[in-house]
């Protein structure tokens, strides 16, 4: 497996950003801030890795934030209204996410809607369902009742590496959140699927040339539906992690997160033209955005300026992706000529 120049550039930019903020931003390199970075952006990394699969097929999923809210409200209702045990809630939450994602894929494959239109429609639909099933609205008093099921809240566990390694008195290491370890597990699974499975190769083939994929006998419809289902599962897991952190869910949970997920995926080198990318880029892209936002916050930069900086980084990533696409097209023309 060769390392793409875009990946090396992303790693270098991440390292440079960490170094600059460590010098100029107070407490940026502190263990507590590193814990905040790992715990606060692991769910964005999972969202971005899930979002990468539709993008790899030349699609897009605008509904992931709404799926986060839908899954969050399902967890809320099952736990606080119906008192379902957590070991049942967790797989149900992931199944709801998978189903919501698969619906997106089926709208694209069978109804032949454009991915942008299909997922924009389901974004509104899923948000509407969230309000319709909101236990906070249906049952008085639940707005102040926290979720206490350990199967759910246990995801917010932190592991003290210093104490576990027996060096806690000598070196103050950041505690590692379970959510970060879950993110690493998702990365290993999805990266393995993409690189070493027939399905992963089919996804890249479909994104690179849909007509060639059809002529090669690939079931492009099934591949598309599965890619959107993967995106939904990742959104479901992100919703579960957020509920664990907040010990509740709101109707506005996940609002705007689709933009962060898409930004992290594109910054991470997943080409909007399809067929190019890996899971490493979106994961690192999410933590790059997190590091920049935390660093700017410590430097007391306003949120409006932070949004401008994030937008500029995304524009630069899209521009770079476009440049790489033009280079690939020129090489193909040169080889055929």
Non-local CB neighbours of 205 within 8 Å, separated by 6+ positions: 212, 213, 216, 218, 275
* Total-model pTM: 0.93
Q: Is the pLDDT of residue 1 over 60?
A: no
Percent of the chain with pLDDT over 70: 95
Given a cut of 80, whether residue 320 has pLDDT beyond it is no
Query: What is the reported pLDDT for 282?
Result: 95
Distance CA 28, CA 292 (A): 10
Residue-range domains of the chain with CATH: 5-332 (1.10.3470)
Which of 132, 130, 127, 140 has the alpha carbon at shortest distance from 81?
140
The yes-or-no verdict on residue 97 having pLDDT over 80 is yes
* Banded model confidence at residue 258, pLDDT cuts 50, 70, 90: very high
The least confident of 87-91, 301-305, 332-336 is: 332-336
What is the distance between the alpha carbons of residues 111 and 69, in angstroms, rounded to a whole number? Answer: 25
CA distance 149 to 87: 9
Strands (DSSP E) contained in the chain are: 158-159, 176-177
Give dist(CA 60, CA 318) in Å, integer. 14
């Amino acid at each position: 497996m060769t390392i793409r120049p875009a990946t090396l550039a992303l790693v270098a930019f991440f390292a440079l950003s960490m170094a600059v903020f460590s010098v100029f931003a107070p407490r940026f390199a502190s263990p507590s801030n590193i814990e905040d970075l790992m715990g606060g952006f692991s769910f964005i990394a999972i969202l971005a890795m899930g979002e990468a699969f539709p993008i790899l097929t030349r699609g897009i999923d605008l509904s992931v934030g709404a799926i986060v809210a839908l899954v969050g409200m399902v967890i809320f209702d099952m736990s606080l209204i119906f008192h379902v045990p957590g070991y049942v809630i967790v797989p149900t939450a992931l199944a709801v996410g998978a189903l919501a994602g698969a619906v997106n894929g089926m709208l694209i494959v069978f109804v032949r809607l454009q991915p942008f239109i299909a997922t924009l429609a389901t974004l509104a639909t899923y948000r509407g369902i969230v309000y319709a099933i909101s236990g906070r609205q249906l049952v008085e008093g639940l707005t102040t009742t926290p979720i206490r099921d350990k199967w759910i809240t246990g995801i917010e566990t932190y592991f003290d590496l210093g104490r576990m390694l027996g060096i806690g008195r000598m070196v103050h290491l950041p505690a590692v959140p379970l959510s970060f370890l879950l993110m690493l597990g998702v990365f290993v699974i999805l990266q393995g699927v993409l690189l070493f499975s027939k399905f992963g190769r089919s996804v890249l083939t479909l994104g690179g040339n849909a007509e060639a994929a059809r002529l090669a006998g690939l079931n492009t419809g099934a591949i598309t539906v599965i890619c959107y289902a993967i995106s939904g599962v990742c959104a479901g897991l992100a919703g579960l992690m957020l509920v664990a952190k907040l010990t509740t869910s709101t109707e506005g949970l996940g609002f705007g997160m689709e933009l962060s997920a898409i930004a992290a995926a594109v910054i991470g080198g997943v080409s909007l033209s399809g067929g190019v990318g890996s899971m490493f880029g979106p994961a690192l892209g999410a933590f790059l955005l997190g590091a920049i936002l935390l660093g700017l916050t410590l430097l007391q930069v306003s949120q409006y300026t932070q949004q401008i900086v994030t937008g500029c980084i995304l524009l630069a990533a899209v521009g770079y992706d476009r440049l790489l696409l033009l280079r690939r097209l020129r090489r193909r023309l040169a080889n055929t000529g």
